[in-house]
Amino acid sequence: MYKILRDPGHMELALVAGIDPQSEGLARARSLGIPASHEGIAAVLADPEIKIVFDATSAKAHVRHARLLREAGKIAVDLTPAARGPYVVPPVNLGQHLDEPNVNLITCGGQATIPLVYAVSRVTPVRYAEIVSTVASKSAGPGTRQNIDEFTFTTARGLEALGGAQQGKAIIILNPAEPPILMRNTIYVIPAGDFDKDAVVASVEQMVADVQRYVPGYRLKSAPVFDRRSTPWGERVVIAMLLEVTGAGDFLPPYSGNLDIMTAAARQVGELFARHLLGVREEVVA
């Protein structure tokens, strides 16, 4: 809500819907003059003027919502790991699925790490990619906690489908530390053969800059580390990258980088769909 209000682009925020009549989010929306409803998906379906819907419920709920929104002729931008539509990560494939009724933003871990795996794979084939996303326990709501299995599966498939890895693996850790930690991601990439280290570093640095255009708090903690070690595929060079994401603090605390990167990506995707629906012709980078 806050990201669209700050930079609406070609979108107009028409409704905020939830299921809790006492929701703080709905109260905030109303205080800003935005229509709000506690009738959930029913309120969205009842408004024929709504064309783009951001679904941030849960994987289980979105399975039902996806069908209802498609039948109503609305575009769903899915922020859950339900994976009912093609995967989209803005700096990797933004603009490739504009005719789809439903696109999936994978997970916060996927939005953070897939760009860097892709940055390596566009230089050299990747045999294996493994990511570990650690987020503050306070920034993991009930939907995230219910969807741990979907998170690991969908993120791993995203590492393959978009990241370019032949095999992917994902792990999520909810850290209860006080004060809450920032979102941290460790990415391990095993290239399939020899490669140019300088080309990999340049590709990764360019990708970090691309993501920072819409997530300013996205940064590598250090340059990629290249370490030769024994792997299931023989002795290979393993590329390790340490990534940290600080949220913009629009409403959620800055330590909630995991949530910020999802909402920032959703706004990017929604804006492109809005331009497409309005017939605005502008160059798409990815």
> Which positions are annotated as active-site residues?
108
HSE toward the beta carbon, residue 283, CA cutoff 13 A:
1
Provide the H-helix boundaries in the chain. Answer: 2-6, 24-31, 41-45, 59-71, 90-93, 108-121, 142-146, 148-161, 197-212, 257-278
Peptide bond into 179 cis (omega under 30): yes
**Do the beta carbons of residue 77 and residue 269 sit within 8 Å?**
yes
CA–CA separation, 116 vs 111, rounded Å? 10
Q: Is 27 strand, coil or helix?
A: helix
What does each C-alpha distance from 132 to 9, 26, 266 come to in angstroms? 34, 33, 22
Question: Tokens 């690991």 correspond to what residue?
Answer: 152
Cβ atoms of 136 and 181 within 8 Å: the answer is: yes
